[in-house]
Structure 1
Amino acid sequence: MNPPLDEQNRPDYEVTPAVQDVTDSLREVQALLAQQKRVESLVHRQDSPRRELVENLVHKQHLAALRDKLVQLSAADVARILEALPQDESLLIWELVAPERGEEVLDELSDTVRETLAATQPLERKAVVLNAFELENGRLRQVPITSKTALAAATPIWIDLIAPSKEERGWIREIFDLALPDTDDLSDLEESARFYIEDNGEVHLHSDFLLDKDGEARNVAVAFILHRNILFSVRDEELPVFRLQRLRARIQPGYVSNGTDVLLDLYAADVEYSADTLEEVYAGLEAVGRKVLSTQVTDAEAASILADIAREEDLNGRIRRNVLDTRRALSFLMRGRLLAASQHEDARQILRDIDSLDGHTAFIFNKINFLMDATVGFININQNKIIKIFSVASVALLPPTLIASVYGMNFRAMPELDWPWGYPFSLALMAVSVAVPFAVFRRKGWLR
């Protein structure tokens, strides 16, 4: 969480008007919160029969003042304030944000703060799973959908559904005459089952989108349907690509003009996200390479390196599968004459970006194979060292074993048995037979 923007943390560089505005707003919010705590504490200490009534009245007045202040701020400023405040105060402010602005504010937050608010907010403030977006002045505007009536009254170009319930699927079926596919049925690999056009003109695309979160990468299946000039998207969980698309379309006028534009921009954002993740793979392999090329690698370090390489290989494979699926989807749209001339150029640009990523993923696969072979080679070297020790020991101990076997034979005609110095002589002979091979091995460098 970012530190509070107080006097002690004020930057030395020149503050822009926008930064100064959010700083002033943060101070006002902090002052209102501090005033609320002081007044409520004072009222609570008073011994009055109407203390509870007065306390509730004061609390409502302060909440109203905070709510009025938040209404005057943009979503980005509210998000900045939420990140700057301590968690308990941040949760209080979040509860005062108007429900229709909740999604917009969440898109501006960092992942850590967003997850904290989503995990602790009451059920009525949970992120909705049915998001409808209309086009207003060249920008996407989210329409609050709380009922079937609200959905029927909207004129969306994009309806985004996250793990839709049976009731929400029923709304879509009744209002738009569309049966949404089940996300469990989106895993078919053959192209005819992933990209097709129904007899009534519905365009279906089943695509994989990359999700790399908390060190765990996976491909999330998303179903797209273009129907009545509206894009419907169905998935089981939130994806950074969709959040980025909503944010860009709200801010930049003319960013999208119809559902097909939204679809292409989602594919473009997915390729961009894959490229960013690929940069992380490069960084991870660079760190692994430094370990592999060090002077000596122990077995424990080699095991850790192999685990790191396996993770990067898995992520690189998912990226390659992801962009391959995106290429197939774009090729289907272009072959089916489903794109306008300007959209064709956008699709070709996305395909060029995918071609550039293909070269990187192929290079990374080769680098992973090299690092894997080098690491396995170090493991073999360590094992050979152990085997060499046993080999040297067995060869060096063979002569004394032979001497002990000779003098261990029980025959009458063995003069050494009656010799008083026979036992010390045999011990000395065995010691010399051990020392001579070790001296030869050391001279030849076999003991290193």
Structure 2
Amino acid sequence: MNIESPIHQPTNQEVLLQLLQKHKLVTDMLHKQEMPRHELVESLVRKQSLVQMQQILKKIDPVEIAHFLEDLPSEDQLYIWDQVAEDKKEAVLREVTFDVLQALGYREFKKERSGIKAFDLNEGRLREIAINSREGLVETKPIWIDLVNPSFEERVWLGDFFGIDLPDPDGLGDLESSARFYVEENGEIHLHSDFLLDREDVSRNVGVGFILHKDILFSVRKEELPVFRLQRLRALSQPNYVTNARDVLLDLYAADAEYSAEALEDVYRGLETVGKHVLSKQMSDEDAAAMLTAIAHEEILNGLIRRNVLDTRRAVSFLMRSRFLDKQQLDDAQQILRDIESLDGHTTFLFGKINFLMDATVGFININQNKVIKQLTVLSVVFMPLNIIAGMGGMSEFSMMTHGIPWPISYGAFTIGMGIVAWITFLLLRFFEKRKLRSTSAAGSNTSV
């Protein structure tokens, strides 16, 4: 009796490996042969293998995908990684080794517009260095690593090398002090601060996460900020501008206070322009609406500045209380706090000026509305006696009184009489109005004397 051996069922990893080898083989053959519509054939073959890989990868557990990537060469790792679903990548990255993270992150760092910049000190100046590989990080000694909208792979790659957990820039909006400024058990200093981004269209505060770890400052944010560009230019051009990571951090806060002061000057100029229009003799409702929009824009910017300097004050005070700064840095921190205190007075003054201009603009709108209501009132007073006369003219007694007079003459005379009454009423209204104005002027003169 013959017993048939069970048919071997290939595992998911074996199927993926076969598809990968088949794809590479077919691609090589297509490149070597010349045929009509070469690009179309290559596209169809590529799509077929991609669909099969993606279907298998959806079914596989993230741990199994991580083990499969570890057994592949780096270029094949990148190819398989591109086929993994976006919602599964984070779970896979948590399981792979550092070598795989390095291979996956290398492609990200090689991009021309990479959002990661590293800086070290060279002859007292800040110098940008390349961090394309793990060896590059080992050989250099950066004091500042700046990340702008980093991907999850980049954050995990760098965080695993330095032994830290880099924050997600999308989750830096927590206002609780305990979550914004704290120290880990291993000595890491964490700060989450707001930095002002003043633009002509929309101004806002952008959250930035800082980590001080082993004399290296890590900064993570969602987008580029003028303060960071200014800090890099100064430290690159001026020798001994910074000496360590804490100097870089304090100078960023100092530059933020300076940038906020410049934004306040823009608010002053904007309100000065608005004030010239508001205090003019006449203003239409359209002009008033435009002024209200401009005032609201300056009020929002002033509020953002006030919140920004308040957050900077909290961060600098935390650094001073935690005793992380040396004597010179403490003096610099005190100067930053004094600069922020001077800005507080300006923001308070601007809030008062904004309220005044807002009330004045609303007052002009009320005056314009009162003028319209006054005109309607005059018309109603002028036509009030006419309504009475018209009512009398429509009564049967009037027809009886003018029975012997032709109707064109009688009603024509009636209409002329109504016009005369209206004119007399209008003249009386003007007379009483001028008399009231003379009385008001005389009372004002007596008061001044």
In the superposition, the TM-score normalised over structure 1's length comes to 0.69
Aligned-pair distance for 1:215? 3.2
Alignment pair present for 1:440 and 2:441: no
Instruction: Specify which of 152, 161, 167 is matched with residue 181 of structure 1.
Output: 167
Q: Does 1:199 align with 2:185?
A: yes
- Given candidates 332, 337, 362, the residue that maps to 1:346 is 332
- Hey, what does 2:176 align to over in structure 1? 190
Q: Give the letter aligned to residue 238 of structure 2.
A: Q
Superposition map of 1:44-443 within 5 A: 126-410=112-396, 414-420=400-406, 422-443=410-431
Please say if residues 152 and 175 of structure 1, whose CA atoms lie closer than 8 Å, have aligned partners that are also in contact: no
The separation in 1 between residues aligned to 2:153 and 2:398, in whole angstroms, is: 104
Shift of 1:411: 5.0
Maintained 8 Å contact 2:156/2:166? no
CA gap 1:417/1:147 in 2 versus in 1, 3 angstroms: farther
TM-score calculated relative to the size of structure 2: 0.69
1:127 Cα deviation from its structure 2 partner: 3.4
Shift in Å, 1:332: 0.9
Cross-structure match for 2:57: none
Displacement after TM superposition at 1:147 (Å): 2.5
User: Is contact 2:170–2:222 with CA below 8 Å preserved after alignment?
Assistant: no
Whole-angstrom CA distance in 1 between matches of 2:398 and 2:387 = 22
Distance 1:359 1:338 in 2: 29
CA distance in structure 2 between the aligned counterparts of 1:197 and 1:434, rounded to whole angstroms = 85
What is the rounded CA distance, in whole Å, between the counterparts of 1:360 and 1:298 in structure 2? 31
1:347/1:418 CA distance change after superposition, 3 Å: farther
- The runs of 5 or more residues in structure 2 that have no matched partner are 1-108, 438-449
Q: Distance in 1 between matches of 2:187 and 2:222?
A: 25
Which residue identity does 1:433 align to in structure 2? V
Give the share of equivalent positions with the same residue, in percent: 58
Deviations 1:389-430 (A, max 9, x none): 111101101111110111212359952455555423422321
**2-structure distance, mates of 1:187, 1:414:** 87
Separation (CA, whole Å) in 2 of partners of 1:129 and 1:342:
32
Instruction: Classify 1:289/1:417 alpha carbon distance in 2 versus 1 (closer, same or farther; 3 Å).
Output: farther
Q: Provide the C-alpha distance between the structure 1 equivalents of 2:237 and 2:376, rounded to a whole number of angstroms.
A: 71
Number of aligned residue pairs: 326
Residue deviations 1:145-197 (CA, integer Å, cap 9, x gap) = 22333223321111100111222212222211011111222111121111111
SS of the equivalent of 2:187 reads coil
RMSD of aligned C-alpha atoms? 2.1
Alignment CA distance shift 1:409-1:152 (3 Å): farther
Larger radius of gyration: 2
Query: How far apart, in 1, do the equivalents of 2:139 and 2:152 lie?
Result: 20
- Which amino acid counterpart does residue 191 of structure 2 have in structure 1? L
Secondary structure of 2:203's aligned partner: strand
Residues 386, 421 of structure 2: 8 Å contact kept:
yes
Deviations 1:64-119 (Å, cap 9, x if unpaired)?
Answer: xxxxxxxxxxxxxxxxxxxxxxxxxxxxxxxxxxxxxxxxxxxxxxxxxxxxxxxx
